[in-house]
């Protein structure tokens, strides 16, 4: 029987992998400009971290986690999201004691959820996410949302908008949950099984229902903003004011609650306005002021963050017909003729690579015409031609593959010549 990859996973082959490398490098560059530092946490954690941190009423914990017992009979889960592990690390490593606060962190890595496979949604997928943990401010919320928003802009995706809402503090959420129970309870039998199960455990999640999103009770449900106190309303107004100042386009969505239990106050999603994209939500995040305390961290420390799927970013780029500026070239191809020249070519290839050039050569002693064709396939900027006569004069022929001009260069001058031509170094 032929062994195939597990359902819900994908092989990222070299041609596609170049796009991933470009995107990940660009995300790291943007993160650095915004003064975020990378954090790397384990791909598996104690199951309790997610059941407590993400929330045992969420679809992730109830249906989607890859959980198993290790050889020590401990319950372990492959991470389904990045925030809980980052907060765990923040607490365990006492990052709250660092001089610079808040801690501005980002991560890039695989996550795992057992969910129905569809375009842009996999059981192993890659997230880029940021977390700002420590102090709380509307300015921080606006910065985080602006970062997420501008990432897509920097990749050339213009047809996006931010959907935003305030979930209030725990007391306000409790009052709102009670109002939702009253609203839905008489006709909850008209909703699917998941919504029935959520009515008393987490009624806000009914507003996030995909099956019954068009039900009239969802459309006429009480608005969370009506249950916010003056302090929460003022905080939300300040966030919106800063977003206006930063030029971030947004709309307030009263039914936006997000899928994880740890959110408080600001919650947001970034949507793409393109009919060719099946999954409209590109990115989501929000403030989680109670999560640090819930995981036994300092009570006064607050957090906010977001995560985006690189798979969905790639789909968005495809749907907008945006080509990434990936350079499909090498610097030099070594063309060697004869056994001694071939031996010299192997050494020269290695020396040039160690000097920082992207170099390839022919391994199979093909004819010169064939080797030049291979150099063209690699889209080489220069070829270096060496034969027995060049070895005798301690020279090589360096040919510009674009204009076909060529020069004889002494062997000891090869690196300096290439540095001048490729890097502009004298």
Q: What is the pLDDT of residues 167-213, one digit of tens each?
A: 998 888 888 888 888 998 888 888 888 788 888 878 887 887 767 77
Q: Both ends of the chain: CA-CA distance in Å?
A: 60
Which residues sit opposite 302 in a β-bridge? 134
Main-chain dihedrals φ then ψ at residue 265, nearest 5 degrees: 55, -125
Radius of gyration (Cα) for the chain, nearest Å? 28
* β-pair type (37-38, 67-69): unpaired
Which residues sit opposite 164 in a β-bridge? 252, 268
* Per-residue confidence (pLDDT) for residue 259, from 0 to 100: 58
Question: Going by C-beta distance under 8 Å and a sequence separation of 6 or more, which residues neighbour residue 356?
Answer: none
* Per-residue confidence (pLDDT) for residue 138, from 0 to 100: 97
* Per-residue confidence (pLDDT) for residue 86, from 0 to 100: 97
* 370 is annotated as contributing to ligand binding: no
Which residues sit opposite 134 in a β-bridge? 302
* 83 is annotated as contributing to ligand binding: yes
* β-pair type (330-336, 380-386): parallel
* 262 is annotated as contributing to ligand binding: yes
Q: What are the angstrom distances between the C-alpha of 161 and each of 68, 178, 357?
A: 39, 31, 42
* 263 is annotated as contributing to ligand binding: yes
* Per-residue confidence (pLDDT) for residue 416, from 0 to 100: 96
Low-confidence ranges of the chain (pLDDT < 70): 57, 210, 259-262, 425-426
* 127 is annotated as contributing to ligand binding: yes
* 58 is annotated as contributing to ligand binding: no
* Per-residue confidence (pLDDT) for residue 425, from 0 to 100: 66
Total count of residues recorded for the chain? 426
Name the E strands within 315-390: 330-336, 359-361, 380-386
Classified as helix, coil or strand, 287 is: strand
Q: Which domains does the chain have, with CATH numbers?
A: 14-168+228-320 (3.30.930.10), 330-423 (3.40.50.800)
Q: Encoding tokens for residue 222?
A: 């009480």
* 406 is annotated as contributing to ligand binding: no
* Per-residue confidence (pLDDT) for residue 426, from 0 to 100: 55
DSSP state of 304: E
Question: Going by C-beta distance under 8 Å and a sequence separation of 6 or more, which residues neighbour residue 235?
Answer: 138, 166, 265, 266
């Amino acid at each position: 029987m032929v062994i195939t990859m597990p359902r819900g996973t994908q092989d990222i082959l070299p041609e596609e992998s170049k796009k991933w490398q470009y995107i990940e490098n660009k995300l790291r560059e943007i993160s650095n400009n915004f003064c975020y530092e990378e954090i790397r946490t384990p791909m598996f954690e104690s199951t309790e971290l997610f059941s407590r941190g993400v929330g045992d009423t969420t679809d992730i914990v109830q249906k989607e986690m890859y959980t198993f017992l290790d050889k020590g009979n401990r319950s372990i889960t492959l991470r389904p999201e990045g925030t809980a592990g980052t907060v765990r690390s923040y607490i365990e490593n006492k990052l709250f004691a660092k001089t610079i606060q808040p801690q501005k962190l980002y991560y890039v890595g695989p996550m795992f959820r057992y969910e129905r496979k569809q375009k842009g949604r996999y059981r192993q997928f890659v997230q880029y996410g940021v977390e700002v943990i420590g102090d709380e401010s509307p300015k921080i919320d606006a910065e985080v949302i602006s970062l997420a928003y501008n990432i897509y802009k920097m990749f050339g995706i213009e047809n996006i908008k931010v959907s935003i809402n305030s979930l209030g503090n725990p007391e306000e959420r409790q009052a709102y949950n009670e109002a939702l129970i009253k609203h839905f309870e008489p006709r909850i039998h008209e909703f699917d099984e998941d919504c029935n199960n959520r009515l008393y455990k987490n009624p806000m999640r009914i507003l996030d229902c995909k099956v019954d999103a068009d039900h009239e009770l969802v459309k006429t449900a009480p608005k969370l903003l009506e249950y916010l106190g003056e302090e929460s309303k003022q905080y939300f107004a300040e966030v919106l004011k800063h977003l206006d100042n930063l030029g971030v386009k947004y709309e307030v969505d009263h039914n936006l609650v997000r899928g994880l239990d740890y959110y408080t106050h600001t919650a947001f999603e970034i949507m793409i306005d393109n009919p060719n994209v099946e999954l409209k939500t590109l990115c989501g995040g929000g403030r989680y002021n109670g999560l640090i305390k819930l995981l036994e961290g300092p009570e006064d420390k607050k957090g906010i963050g977001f995560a985006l799927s690189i798979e969905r970013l790639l789909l968005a780029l495809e749907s907008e017909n945006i080509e990434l500026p990936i350079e499909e070239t090498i610097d030099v191809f070594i063309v060697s003729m004869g056994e001694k020249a071939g031996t010299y070519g192997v050494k020269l290839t290695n020396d040039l690579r160690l000097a920082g050039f992207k170099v390839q050569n022919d391994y199979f002693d093909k004819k010169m015409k064939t080797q030049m064709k291979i150099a063209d396939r690699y889209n080489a900027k220069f070829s270096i031609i060496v034969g027995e006569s060049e070895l005798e004069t301690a020279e090589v022929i360096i040919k510009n593959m674009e204009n076909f001009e060529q020069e004889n260069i002494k062997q000891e001058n090869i690196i300096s010549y290439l540095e001048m031509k490729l890097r502009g170094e004298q």
